[in-house]
Amino acid sequence: MNDLIQAVSIFSAALAVGLGAIGPGLGEGRAVASAMEAIARQPEAAGTISRTLFVGLAMIETMAIYCLVIALLVLFANPFIK
Amino acid sequence: MKSPLTLEPLFHVGPAPITEPVVVAWAVMALIAGFAALSTRRLALAPSRSQAAVEILVSTIDDQIRGTMQADPAPFRALIGSIFLFTLISNWSSLVPGVEPPTAHIETDAAMALIVFVATIAWGVRSRGIGGYLKTFAEPSWVMIPLNVVEQFTRTFSLIVRLFGNVMSGVFVVGIVLTLAGLIVPIPLMALDLLTGTVQAYIFAVLATVFIAAAVGERREPSADAAP
């Protein structure tokens, strides 16, 4: 039984990271694309735009990081493995 | 592989086990306190080079707080500035060989988020009174009371997990790459870690400012507009 739970845990950890990276990936791509467009239109505002972009990217990336934390919880602190 | 969620005690002080993040966190605190004491010992009206550098740092933090809160930054400078500097230097402490950043363990982040949580309530009660602060939970209507109460805890929790996850994942990835490939390969990832560490320290401080600003409320101080 324990072996089965371990196998399922590893699989679900991989699934959590893989699926959880899709949304933030799409979101970050859109954010960077619009930031590039904005910089191309207004190069003088590049400083402000890239600073805001970094903060926004970190916020979006946090969603993927949550998935990573869940995956690590499943792998290392699984409450169902004795 | 070593779990990033568990800790081994290094040594014991009386009954209390002391782990590595505690030691590193105290070292970082001692570093900041020593630097602050040294750089403010001989303050002059015409600043020396080091004093000018510290003044730039303080005025940058002040500007950020003023921009976020629309209020006089003086009462919040100590807390927000300390949180920012401590998080930044903790995140960067991985540059010292053999040191793991204390923020890569959830306990340090939980302690800091708890400080922010308590400070939010304390400033809210101080500026509005207990009744006034409790009344903010019923805004915009009493239907929102459970949501607002839950939000207090979830946002603290997400503050913990955000910082922990970002810093820990950096350490973890560098560790994995180091076991796969030798000396030079992890360096770009470590450089990325420095960027992530800076951004996360900034975000942690900004979110703390936003939470406190929301608790204190819109009451603008008259000196805020007069200040340059």
Q: What distance in Å separates the CA atoms of residue B81 and residue B62, rounded to the nearest whole number? A: 9
Residue B77's SS3 state is helix
Tally of CA atoms within 13 A in the half-sphere of A51 that contains its CB:
6
With an 8 Å Cβ cutoff, are B165 and A69 in contact? yes
Q: What whole-number distance in Å separates Cα of residue B125 and Cα of residue B43?
A: 35
Measured between beta carbons, the chain B residues lying within 8 angstroms of A58 are 166, 196, 199-200, 203
- Closest CA in chain B for residue A57: B199
Can you give the pLDDT at residue B185?
Answer: 86
CA dihedral A37, A41, A45, A50 (to 10 degrees): 10
- A65 with B200: Cβ contact below 8 A: no
Is the predicted pLDDT of residue A14 greater than 90, yes or no?
Answer: yes
Tell which residue, B192, B199, B160, has the closest CA to residue B173.
B192
Residue B118 has pLDDT above 90, yes or no: yes
| Crossing angle for the helix pair B49-69 and B20-39, to the nearest 10 degrees | 110
Q: Examine the pLDDT at B226 and tell me if it is beyond 50.
A: no
Residue A82: partners with Cβ closer than 8 Å, 6 or more residues away: A2
* The pLDDT of residue B109: 93
pLDDT digits over A30-74, tens only?
999 999 999 999 999 888 888 788 888 888 888 888 898 889 888
Angstrom CA distances, B174 to A55, B25, B169, B180, stand at 23, 21, 8, 10
| Contact (Cβ atoms closer than 8 angstroms) between residue B22 and residue B102 | yes
| pLDDT at res. B123 | 92
Per-residue pLDDT at B110: 93
Residue B129 has pLDDT above 50, yes or no: yes
CB spacing of A55 vs B169 below 8 angstroms: no
Copy the structure tokens of residue B98.
Answer: 């053999």
Q: Is residue B227 pLDDT above 70, yes or no? A: no
| Residue B71 pLDDT class (50, 70, 90 cuts) | confident
Nearest to residue B80, comparing CAs of B53, B99, B100, B60? B60
Residue range B137-151: average pLDDT?
A: 87
Taking only the tens place, the pLDDT of each residue in B164-223 is 999 998 888 888 888 888 788 888 888 989 998 998 999 999 889 989 988 887 655 444
pLDDT of residue B225: 45
Residues B114 and B104: their CA atoms lie apart, in Å, by 16
Q: Specify the residue for token string 């929301």.
A: B214
Which chain A residues touch B194 with a CB distance below 8 Å? Answer: none
Interface test with B, best of A72, A73, A78 (most B CBs within 10 A): A72
Q: What number of other Cβ atoms are within 10 A of residue A3's Cβ?
A: 8
pTM of the model: 0.84
Closest-approach residue (CA) in chain A for B162: A62
Provide the strand spans (E) within B8-167.
Answer: 9-13, 16-19
In angstroms, the first-to-last Cα distance of chain A is 10
Q: What local confidence, expressed as pLDDT, does residue A58 receive?
A: 82
pLDDT digits (tens, 9 = 90+) for B6-25: 777 888 888 888 888 899 99
Residue found by looking up tokens 């900041």 in the block: B32
Angle at B64 between CA B216 and CA B92, to 5 degrees: 110
Q: Which among A35-44, B37-46, B60-69, B217-226 has the top mean pLDDT?
A: A35-44
Measured between CA atoms, the residue of chain B closest to residue A60 is: B162
State CA B204 to chain mean position distance.
5
A68 HSE (CA, 13 A, CB side): 21
Residue type, B155: R
What's residue B10's pLDDT?
81
Whether the per-residue pLDDT at B224 is higher than 70: the answer is no
Enumerate the residues of chain A whose CB falls inside 8 A of the CB of residue B168.
69, 72
Give the number of beta-carbon pairs within 8 Å between A and B: 44
